[in-house]
């Protein structure tokens, strides 16, 4: 069974860049799209964007100007970079496999934006 694990700093300063990595285990990162989804404390879910091993990426229009998603097939990882963060970017960030729905999720990682 494919497993996903997010990793990255839990604290980011305002105006800096939030960087996260999702490692795919027990399966290939090829053949599927992989998404990032976030959930602010006590709130609902927001799709951030996705990527494919070919380099194709798709972004939420509300975040597109600050966002880069990439897929590294050699490491079986995909990553998220969100620039110029503010307190509004504080959330649990999830990675998920993007098939007919988000069928496999990582456990999530909490990222707090604060000085």
Partner 1 sequence: EIVLTQSPATLSLSPGERATLSCRASQSVSSYLAWYQQKPGQAPRLLIYDASDRATGIPARFSGSGSGTDFTLTISSLEPEDFAVYYCHQRSNWPLSTFGQGTKLEIK
Cα–Cα distance measured from residue 110 to residue 91, given in angstroms and rounded to the nearest whole number: 6
Rounded to a whole number of angstroms, the minimum distance from the CB of residue 103 to partner 1 is 5
Q: Does 58 bind partner 1 (CB under 8 A)?
A: yes
Q: Does 2 bind partner 1 (CB under 8 A)?
A: no
Neighbour tally for 115: CB within 10 Å: 9
Stretch near partner 1 under the rule CB under 8 A, chosen from 14-22, 74-82, 83-91, 105-113: 105-113
Local structure of 66: helix, strand or coil: helix
Stretch near partner 1 under the rule CB under 8 A, chosen from 11-19, 24-32, 46-54, 79-87: 46-54
Cα–Cα distance measured from residue 21 to residue 111, given in angstroms and rounded to the nearest whole number: 13
Residue 22 near residue 78, CB atoms below 8 Å = yes
Give the residues lining the site for partner 1 (CB under 8 A): 33, 35, 44-47, 49-50, 58, 60-61, 94, 98, 100-103, 105-108
């Amino acid at each position: 069974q494919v497993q996903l694990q997010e990793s990255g700093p839990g604290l980011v300063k305002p105006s800096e860049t939030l960087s996260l990595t999702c490692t795919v285990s027990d399966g290939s990162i090829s053949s599927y799209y992989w998404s990032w989804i976030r959930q602010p404390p006590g709130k609902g879910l927001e799709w951030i964007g996705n990527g494919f091993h070919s380099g194709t990426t798709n972004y939420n229009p509300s975040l597109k100007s600050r966002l880069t998603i990439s897929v590294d097939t050699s490491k079986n990882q995909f990553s998220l970079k969100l620039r110029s963060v503010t307190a509004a970017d504080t959330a649990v960030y999830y990675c998920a496999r993007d098939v007919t729905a988000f069928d496999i999720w990582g456990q999530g990682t909490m990222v707090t934006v604060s000085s």
